[in-house]
């Protein structure tokens, strides 16, 4: 065991804190090199700045790298957390804000912001049980909610045995592990549990951090994964990308159609296709969607853009950047285990840009540029 | 801290009086006085700022904020009871674990160790104090926690946990994390502070006292108990309080291993939280102007008050030695 742990430490590529550190480095490098470049011949390169959610940070950084030569727009994105991102765009200290949880309609109106999705991510449940391999265990949302409520406390509980007749479940205490730091990941996870369990909704509710009736907390995705690894009988939740890259044991979960689905790109895309994107402000609910193959815990992440930009040129460049990403960034997103948004949604976003973001009464974004 | 500054400021006029009239001395005096006053102002400003920031929480929940066990960000009900309990419990446990070892280290270094060993071992102890707390946190999470989860906690839960009277202190699932693990890491972190203070004060005992006792036929332990400890008692307690102050405010190392649950656990192996750890975890996602942010600042204020009291007591007890 001792031998296997140090690589685990080194191999985290998508863990939020690690990413934070990397993004800091990127930001620092950008801050020091870009002005230099500006003086030595890259003067036309347009600068845009953004701040917010940590979850989409890896894909935004990769997009920024690829878009720089393609459309001559240089993005400086700081992953400071959704809450801080919302605060920064409210004060207009950045060109765009990024948030995992959608802003409410009133808040958007009050702050004169428009919001659109960029990519989606998914959560998986991970377990540490003897003789249980990846995607073997079957769980339902109701059972997960009762585990996190502290009502199901043993792995050989009749309800778990009922779902997993083929597994020999031990008489072992269940140790639920949750994110101790406020995070969008927790927001999505409790949104799911609240949607499938009225009791969970009433007793715990939805937020970036909640009052957990049972279990132990760990810091960041890597903290949850590490605690689950260390504790026999533990169960936790992490982003799918994180589970894949660290070879964690995920479970199947029963979706709304009643099928036990595996966490695969197909099941994530199915959830995206089946969601209703025509809701105001694109605040689509991708939790527990219809569809035979849909993975039940999928969530989009959002960009917040001022409707009356102070500097229309910079705002236009933000839109050029994301337009480029919608057209050319799907492969990069998939490589990093994100789910690109469907093309029809991207088209609707472009339409919303034209309609909502105006400077002096004229739309800032025109399809022809 | 403030007392030391105050003494420095008072001492200045006395030493500069002789050279009054020289412009350089007046500038020097003003600069030094300014530096002293600046620290005091800074300290005051931090306290006031924390109190103003936490005012919304204090006003909403009243004095009950300090004792309330509720921490529900969804319902916006906040109370400091659980983190205050966790902070004090882990710090006191850490002291209980660290003091005997620190005493042993200091005793060994001043009385038993051969001359050539004293410097390297003393330096090693002081170097322990220089290790950043995040390193202790990661070491705790990746090394100590698995060992606790697999070997130590199951063994204790199955044996001591079954005993009738004290069993409840050691029950529950062996997560490896929890109040006890946090206290253990804290104990290792504060050990060098306490050991260094103890060594320094033990060395200040006039040799003639000890030699007299040895001359009367006292053993080493009798000399320690009958001469050295009574002579240095207040300073030793002051050193322990210094360690306590550090244990109270420690953040990163604790966050990794305490389990981060806002519930009161009766078992020492149960998860808990400390003020510093809770503030660090929740700060990032707190909205500007929200009640939650105010509650976190109020927690900071409470921690400041607790630390201030502990450090003030430690300074007061150490005063005779500091003056000498």
Mean pLDDT of all residues in B131-147: 90
Other beta carbons less than 10 A from residue B176's beta carbon: 28
B5, pLDDT greater than 60: no
Contact status of B76 with chain A (Cβ, < 8 Å): no
Residues A113, A91: Cα–Cα separation, whole Å = 11
- Judge: B259–A217 Cβ closer than 8 Å, yes or no: yes
Residues A130, A198: Cα–Cα separation, whole Å = 32
Q: Which of residues 255-274 of B touch A (CB under 8 A)?
A: 255-256, 259-262, 271
Mean pLDDT of all residues in B74-81: 89
Distance from the B257 Cα atom to the nearest Cα atom in chain A, whole angstroms: 8
Residues of chain A in contact with residue B178, where contact means CB-CB under 8 angstroms, are 216
Phi, psi values for residue A298, rounded to 5°: -125, 145
Query: Which residue, among B269, B279, B285, would best test binding to A if mutated, counting the most A CBs under 10 Å from its CB?
Result: B285
The pLDDT value given to residue B306: 92
pLDDT tens sequence for chain A (369 residues): 333 334 433 344 444 444 455 455 555 554 444 444 444 444 468 899 999 888 899 999 999 999 999 999 999 999 888 878 888 999 899 999 999 888 888 889 999 999 999 999 999 999 999 889 999 999 999 999 999 999 998 999 999 999 999 998 988 889 899 998 888 889 999 999 999 999 999 999 998 889 999 888 988 888 899 889 888 889 999 999 888 888 899 999 999 999 999 999 899 989 988 888 888 889 888 899 888 999 999 999 999 999 988 888 999 999 999 999 999 999 999 998 899 999 989 999 999 999 898 888 888 887 644
This model of the complex carries an ipTM of: 0.74
Distance from the A230 Cα atom to the nearest Cα atom in chain B, whole angstroms: 6
The pLDDT value given to residue A11: 41
Residues A254, A274: Cα–Cα separation, whole Å = 16
Bridge partners (DSSP) listed for residue A74: A47
Residues of chain B in contact with residue A210, where contact means CB-CB under 8 angstroms, are 72-74
Question: Which among B70, B175, B256 is the nearest to A219, CB-wise?
Answer: B256
Two structure tokens written together for B317? 């007890």
B50, pLDDT greater than 90: yes
Confidence of residue B20 (pLDDT cuts 50, 70, 90): low
Residues B24, B26: Cα–Cα separation, whole Å = 5
- Judge: A210–B73 Cβ closer than 8 Å, yes or no: yes
Q: Which of residues 108-147 of B touch A (CB under 8 A)?
A: 141-142, 145-146
Distance from the B255 Cα atom to the nearest Cα atom in chain A, whole angstroms: 7
The pLDDT value given to residue A9: 39
Phi, psi values for residue A235, rounded to 5°: -135, 145
Mean pLDDT of all residues in B304-322: 80
Tens digits of per-residue pLDDT, B188-225? 999 998 999 899 889 889 999 989 999 999 998 899 88
Distance from the B295 Cα atom to the nearest Cα atom in chain A, whole angstroms: 14
Question: Which among A173, A181, A205 is the nearest to B173, CB-wise?
Answer: A173
Bridge partners (DSSP) listed for residue B26: none
B177, pLDDT greater than 90: no
Question: Which among A82, A83, A182 is the nearest to B281, CB-wise?
Answer: A182
Residues A328, A62: Cα–Cα separation, whole Å = 12
Distance from the B296 Cα atom to the nearest Cα atom in chain A, whole angstroms: 13
Give, in degrees to the nearest 5, the angle at Cα A271 between A267 and A272.
120
Residues B217, B39: Cα–Cα separation, whole Å = 51
The pLDDT value given to residue A3: 38
3-state secondary structure of A220: helix
Question: Which among B146, B256, B284 is the nearest to A83, CB-wise?
Answer: B284
Question: Which among B73, B178, B281 is the nearest to A180, CB-wise?
Answer: B281
Phi, psi values for residue A297, rounded to 5°: -120, 80
Q: Which residues contact A114 (CB under 8 A, 6 or more apart)?
A: A108, A281, A304, A305, A306, A307, A352, A353, A356, A357
User: If you compute the radius of gyration of chain A from its CA atoms, what whole number of angstroms results?
Assistant: 21
What secondary structure, in 3-state letters, does B214-246 show?
HHCCCCHHHHHHHHHHHHHHHHHHHHHHHHHHH
The pLDDT value given to residue A40: 41
The pLDDT value given to residue B122: 87
- Relative to beta strand A96-99, strand A46-52 is parallel
pTM value is: 0.78
Tens digits of per-residue pLDDT, B155-175? 888 888 778 778 778 877 777
Residues A352, A356: Cα–Cα separation, whole Å = 6
Residues B54, B78: Cα–Cα separation, whole Å = 12
Q: What is the dihedral of CA A310, A311, A315, A321, to 10 degrees?
A: -150
Is the four-CA dihedral A225, A236, A213, B287 of positive or negative sign? positive
- Judge: B284–A84 Cβ closer than 8 Å, yes or no: yes
Two structure tokens written together for B304? 């400041």
């Amino acid at each position: 065991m001792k031998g296997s742990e140090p690589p685990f430490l080194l191999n985290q590529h998508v863990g939020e804190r690690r990413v934070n550190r990397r993004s800091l480095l990127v930001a620092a490098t950008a801050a020091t090199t870009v002005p230099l470049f500006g003086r030595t011949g890259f003067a036309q390169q347009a600068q845009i700045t953004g701040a917010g959610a940590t979850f989409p940070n890896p894909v935004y950084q990769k997009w920024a790298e690829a878009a720089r030569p393609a459309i001559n727009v240089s993005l400086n994105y700081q992953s400071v957390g959704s809450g801080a991102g919302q605060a920064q765009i409210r004060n207009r200290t950045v060109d765009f804000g990024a948030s995992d949880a959608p802003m409410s309609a009133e808040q958007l109106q009050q702050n004169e912001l428009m919001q659109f999705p960029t990519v989606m991510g998914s959560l998986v449940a991970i377990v540490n049980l003897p003789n249980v391999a990846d995607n073997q265990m079957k769980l339902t949302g109701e059972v997960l909610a009762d585990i996190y409520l502290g009502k199901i406390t043993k792995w050989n509980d009749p309800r778990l045995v009922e779902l997993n007749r083929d597994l020999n479940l031990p008489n072992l205490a269940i140790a639920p592990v949750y994110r101790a730091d406020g995070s969008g990941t927790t927001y999505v996870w409790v949104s799911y549990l609240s949607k499938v369990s009225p009791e969970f909704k009433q007793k715990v509710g939805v937020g970036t951090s909640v009052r957990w009736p049972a279990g132990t907390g760990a810091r960041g995705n890597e903290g949850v994964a590490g605690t689950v690894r260390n504790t026999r009988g533990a169960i936790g939740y992490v982003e799918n990308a994180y589970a894949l890259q660290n070879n964690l044991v995920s479970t199947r979960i029963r979706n709304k159609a009643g099928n036990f689905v595996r966490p695969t790109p197909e099941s994530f895309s199915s959830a995206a296709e089946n969601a209703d994107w025509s809701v105001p402000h694109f605040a689509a609910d991708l939790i527990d969607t219809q569809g035979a193959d849909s993975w039940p815990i999928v969530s989009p992440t959002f960009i917040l853009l001022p409707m009356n930009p102070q500097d229309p040129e910079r705002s236009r460049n933000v839109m050029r950047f994301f337009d480029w990403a919608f057209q050319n960034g799907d492969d990069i997103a998939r490589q990093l285990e994100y789910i690109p948004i469907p093309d029809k949604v991207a088209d609707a976003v472009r339409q919303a840009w034209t309609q909502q973001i105006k400077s002096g009464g004229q739309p800032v974004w025109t399809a022809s540029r | 801290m403030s007392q030391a500054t105050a003494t420095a400021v008072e001492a200045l006029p006395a030493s500069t009086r002789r050279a009054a009239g020289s412009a350089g001395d007046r500038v020097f005096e003003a600069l030094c006085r300014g530096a002293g006053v600046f620290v005091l102002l800074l300290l005051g400003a931090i306290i006031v700022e924390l109190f103003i920031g936490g005012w919304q929480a204090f006003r909403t929940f009243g004095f009950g904020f300090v004792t309330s066990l509720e921490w529900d960000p969804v319902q916006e009900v906040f109370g400091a009871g659980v983190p205050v309990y966790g902070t004090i419990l882990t710090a006191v446990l850490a002291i209980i674990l660290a003091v005997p070892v620190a005493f042993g280290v200091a005793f060994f270094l001043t009385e038993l160790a051969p001359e050539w060993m004293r410097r390297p071992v003393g330096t090693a102890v002081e170097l322990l104090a220089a290790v950043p707390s995040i390193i202790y946190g990661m070491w705790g999470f990746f090394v100590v926690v698995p060992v606790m989860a697999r070997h130590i906690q199951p063994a204790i839960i199955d044996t001591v946990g079954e005993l009738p009277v004290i069993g409840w202190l050691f029950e529950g699932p062996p997560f490896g994390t929890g109040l006890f693990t946090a206290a253990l890491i804290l104990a290792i972190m504060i050990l060098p502070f306490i050991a260094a203070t103890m060594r320094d004060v033990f060395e200040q005992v006039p040799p003639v006292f000890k030699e007299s006792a040895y001359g009367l036929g006292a053993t080493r332990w009798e000399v320690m108990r009958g001469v050295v400890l009574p002579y240095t008692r207040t300073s030793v307690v002051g050193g322990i309080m210094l360690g306590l102050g550090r244990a109270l405010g420690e953040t990163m190392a604790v966050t990794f291993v305490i389990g981060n649950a806002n519930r009161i656990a009766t078992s020492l192996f149960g998860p808990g939280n400390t003020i510093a750890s809770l503030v660090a975890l929740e700060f990032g996602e707190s909205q500007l102007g929200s009640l939650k942010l105010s509650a976190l600042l109020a927690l900071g204020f409470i921690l400041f008050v607790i630390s201030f009291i502990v450090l003030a007591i430690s300074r007061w007890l150490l005063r005779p030695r500091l003056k000498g």
